[in-house]
A = this chain, B = another copy of it.
């Protein structure tokens, strides 16, 4: 009889996340009761937000120690006691870091049929793709000829935001860590430029002045912190900032916000707006239509960074927070039956 290998959040980190904050165990597979579905995990999403969930209630309740580490993922129905799902079907939900999850049917959703690999359901057509699309198109909007700045440009969301901006006719500048990654963002993703925030010879603020002397129209912020700070100084009058996340702030103690809030917002009449992907669920069909089309046409590259093995989930997330991923990081737990 197969068992369920699980990874628990053993301790809420006070500083940087490390492998010691997790515990591995192996338990019997639960049986679903009426209304529940037993799902075998195929692939798990890794997101900077996973770390933010450990810091307290956000757009979801906080994680607590001792629970299976939360994580969105795609799995296959093994046994269903909810009429809406049947055995063998692919579903998405908060499966957590475990091989099998028992969830109420209302907490999972059927995966939309698409011609790509299963992983596309977490990258291009999943939270990453929808976040990039809605957070650019439906929050600040982007127009041809505008200058778009994107932080975490090599990451799951940033890599798509920049490409969508380019498709829409904007000049796209990325921010990433390390010269080699920046070069990859330009060569592989087609950004017009990519600035290295780790470059000690040139502060980001100076690099921005050189790269966008007339200023930035739209800044898509994945990082917060010093990069947001530099971006605010580089914004054009009436510039728009889409606040998607603050990866620089998640792994450690709370830090104050950037200088110039609210001073620069007034002086330059800036708008900063936060969003969550589910706020724009009513436009998901637009996003799926456009993203699929662009990928099919070869306009949009879907970059996936898949690590094999559930046991590597902690290391994968820790590495993601350090910015080591290229594109959408996922953990492959099993192949579908």
Q: A: which residues have CB within 8 A of B?
A: 52, 58-59, 221, 224, 228, 241, 243-246, 249, 254-276, 279
Q: Are A266 and B255 in contact (CB under 8 A)?
A: no
Chain B residue at smallest Cβ distance from A237: B59
Q: Are B259 and A261 in contact (CB under 8 A)?
A: no
Please measure, in the bound complex, the distance between the C-alpha atom of A52 and the C-alpha atom of B264, giving whole angstroms.
Answer: 11
Between A246, A257, A271, the greatest number of chain B beta carbons within 10 A of the residue's beta carbon is seen for A257
Which 7 residue pairs across A and B have the least CB separation, nearest first?
A257-B257, A257-B261, A265-B274, A256-B256, A266-B274, A243-B262, A271-B273
Copies in the complex: 2
- In the bound complex, residues from chain B placing their C-beta under 8 Å from that of A244 are 266
Chain B residue at smallest Cβ distance from A273: B271
Instruction: Enumerate 16 A-B pairs (CB-CB under 8 Å) in ascending A order.
Output: A59-B267, A244-B266, A246-B262, A256-B259, A257-B259, A257-B260, A257-B261, A261-B261, A261-B272, A262-B274, A265-B272, A265-B274, A266-B274, A266-B275, A268-B274, A269-B274
A60 to chain B, nearest CB (A): 10
Q: Are B228 and A262 in contact (CB under 8 A)?
A: yes
- In the bound complex, residues from chain B placing their C-beta under 8 Å from that of A262 are 221, 224, 228, 241, 243, 245-246, 257, 272, 274
Please measure, in the bound complex, the distance between the C-alpha atom of A246 and the C-alpha atom of B262, giving whole angstroms.
Answer: 7
- In the bound complex, residues from chain B placing their C-beta under 8 Å from that of A269 are 273-276, 279
Please measure, in the bound complex, the distance between the C-alpha atom of A264 and the C-alpha atom of B55, giving whole angstroms.
Answer: 12
Given contacts A271-B272, A272-B272, A273-B271, contact A243 B266 (CB under 8 A): yes
Q: Are A266 and B279 in contact (CB under 8 A)?
A: no
Chain B residue at smallest Cβ distance from A135: B266
A271 to chain B, nearest CB (A): 4
